[in-house]
Amino acid sequence: MIELRDIRFAYDGATVLDGVDLTVEEGELVLVSGPTGVGKSTLLGIVSGLVPRFSGGRLEGDVLLDGVSVVGRPPRERAHAVGYVGQDPAAGFVTDTVEEELAYGMEQLGLPPETMRRRVEETLDLLGIADLRHRDLRTLSGGQQQRVAIGSVLTMHPRLLVLDEPTSALDPTAAEDVLATLTRLVHDLGVSVLLAEHRLERVVPFVDRMCLMTGDGTVRVGDPGELLAASPVVPPIVELGRAAGWHPLPLSVRDARRRARGLGERLAPPPVPEEQPSTDGLEAQGLTVVHGATVALRDVDVRLPAHRVTALMGRNGSGKSSLLWALQGSGRRRSGQVRVGALDPSRLDAAGRRGLVGLVPQSAADLLYLETVGEECAAADGGTGACREILDRLVPGVPDDHHPRDLSEGQRLALALALVLSARPDVLLLDEPTRGLDYAAKRVLAGILRDLAADAHAVLVATHDVEFVALAADDVVVLADGEVVSSGPVRRVVAESPAFAPQVTKVLGAPWLRVDEVVAALDAS
């Protein structure tokens, strides 16, 4: 129904897309995948019409909607056929309650009131959000917002849904909800879906076809099983399949589990994690944080030993950010105490706090305010060059004269991390650092965190990404509704709660966490 023909797109002289052909058929779920910065969002924007209208750049080629060229027409003239949901659904909300938001698009199309009324009710039921109908959009959780955003385009009865990273900001359970909703739309209503996603492990099992962007401006379209065999970005399950020599590659945990029968026995005994002597780090007891009438944290005890990376997990709105800010000392706490050595960070001034506990906030861009990377570094260390040195150690080769906003997600995160680390804190806290990072960048980040821990730092990283936790963390703390529900070494916690288990654990059982462990064991046996 929608067809891209020989699309070429250049931005500021740099070619992003070079001769892309892609067709999305009726009732198909197509995944766009590839490393960060390869032009996934650009491709989706061209389909919805937002590129080049809202981004600038030069577009050549043709976009056909049911055989009619729509390439020169603005997004609003395609709204009845193509529904677009951006990366941050909350940023695209126009009205203030769920019901009005669902009706907004239909009002623009000028549909009669009875039709609007009927479709709003149908959509509320279809997405399971009927009990949210009068809620203020800003009070919804991330998963609910995402479903409302999908609903708000669905009411226009589009035939193609275009979604840019619909699950990247969601906790594992909410992500599964959204994906289940999408598959239901594809199966029951015959809607076509085109989505971009970094976390392939979540979506690959649901996908009909895959469009792999290779980085040189071209794409390869085909069956996910075949494309993933040679893809630079693959979910852990495919990596495991490649290592074990399975063919065809498994795409879902269920497939892999069937293949893995017997593999467990062939492996050498699982590695026994050596317990490090836990030395001092940060210790918090009885933390309670209250925002207005809501209790964000209730009597939480946390210990962050030096030399270890601790992961903080929990669904959206469970109090992870509140805990990080309270530990850093900037966030106000109602009661409880925090100790780093003999000091309480909340009793120090801002400079003293950041010398003790560093925090990289959720939107790392909030830290940046100067025009070039060099200026940012100089402002952070007072011209001693220490910050630049840290940045080079984290991610070598970030040019001094670049504007921080022009860096890739990973580089910008590294810059923010360097700015925070240049105060030489003993404890480092990171809030959702893996947002928008591809597998390679996540692996680099995991390496950085491991190095920091080896360097006697205590590290706490709040994240939704179970695969990243398996890669980077020693311990896990799981928060729910402001209370700690489980904490301990990764292997134990993950074995106890299947929702937080990485794919390798789901396939091979409890002690195994990462593909590289399995590979090492395979080599050993």
Partner 1 sequence: MTTRLPRDLHPVAWWLWAIGMATAASLTTNPFVLLLLVAAATVVVVARRSDQPWARSFRLYVGMAVVIVVVRVAFRVVFGGGYAGTVVLDLPAVPLPGWAAGITLLGPVTRESLLAGLYDGLRLGTIVVCVGAANALANPKRLLRSVPPALYEIGTALVVAVTVLPQFADSARRVRAAQSLRAGETGRVAGMRRFLVPVLEDALERSLALAAGMDARGYGRSAGLTPARRRVTGALMLTGLGGICVGVYAVLDRTAPRYLALPMLVVGVAAAVVGLISAGRRVERSRYRPDSWRWPELVVAGAGIVTGLLGWWVSRHQVPLAFPDLSTFPQISALSLLGVVIAVAGGLCAPPPPSSYVVAVPLRQEVAA
| Distance of closest approach, residue 61 Cβ to partner 1, in angstroms | 20
Residues facing residue 297 across a β-bridge: 289
| Distance of closest approach, residue 158 Cβ to partner 1, in angstroms | 10
| Distance of closest approach, residue 322 Cβ to partner 1, in angstroms | 12
| Distance of closest approach, residue 195 Cβ to partner 1, in angstroms | 15
Q: Which is nearer to partner 1, 3 or 100 (CB)?
A: 100
| Angle made by CA atoms 58, 398, 169, in degrees to the nearest 5 | 70
Question: Alpha-carbon Rg of the chain, whole angstroms?
Answer: 24
120 within 8 A of 111, measured Cβ to Cβ: no
Q: Which is nearer to partner 1, 68 or 272 (CB)?
A: 68
| Distance of closest approach, residue 254 Cβ to partner 1, in angstroms | 31
**In the block, residue with structure tokens 């129904």:** 1
DSSP class of residue 186 equals I
Judge residue 519's burial from the number of C-beta atoms within 10 Å of its C-beta, 0-12 exposed, 13-18 middle, 19 or more buried.
Answer: middle
Q: Which is nearer to partner 1, 68 or 91 (CB)?
A: 91
Judge residue 508's burial from the number of C-beta atoms within 10 Å of its C-beta, 0-12 exposed, 13-18 middle, 19 or more buried.
Answer: buried
CA-based end-to-end distance of the chain: 52
Q: Which is nearer to partner 1, 33 or 48 (CB)?
A: 48
Q: Which is nearer to partner 1, 18 or 99 (CB)?
A: 99
Distance separating alpha carbons of residues 430 and 402, to the nearest angstrom = 24
Q: Which is nearer to partner 1, 395 or 476 (CB)?
A: 395
| Distance of closest approach, residue 99 Cβ to partner 1, in angstroms | 8
Sign of dihedral through CA atoms 197, 201, 206, 209?
positive
Distance separating alpha carbons of residues 253 and 237, to the nearest angstrom = 7
CA dihedral in degrees (262, 265, 267, 268; nearest 10)?
-170
Distance separating alpha carbons of residues 525 and 511, to the nearest angstrom = 17
| Distance of closest approach, residue 368 Cβ to partner 1, in angstroms | 7
Residue of 31, 8, 337 lying closest to 162 (CA atoms): 31
| Distance of closest approach, residue 134 Cβ to partner 1, in angstroms | 4
Q: Which is nearer to partner 1, 90 or 519 (CB)?
A: 90
| Distance of closest approach, residue 412 Cβ to partner 1, in angstroms | 13
DSSP string, 468-523: HHHHH-SEEEEEETTEEEEEEEHHHHHHH-GGG--HHHHHH-TT---HHHHHHHHH
Q: Which is nearer to partner 1, 99 or 208 (CB)?
A: 99
316 within 8 A of 144, measured Cβ to Cβ: no
| Distance of closest approach, residue 144 Cβ to partner 1, in angstroms | 14
- Residue 70: both structure tokens together: 């729509």
Q: Which is nearer to partner 1, 367 or 494 (CB)?
A: 367
Q: Which is nearer to partner 1, 192 or 328 (CB)?
A: 328
DSSP class of residue 311 equals E
Which contiguous run of DSSP H or E holds residue 16? strand 14-24
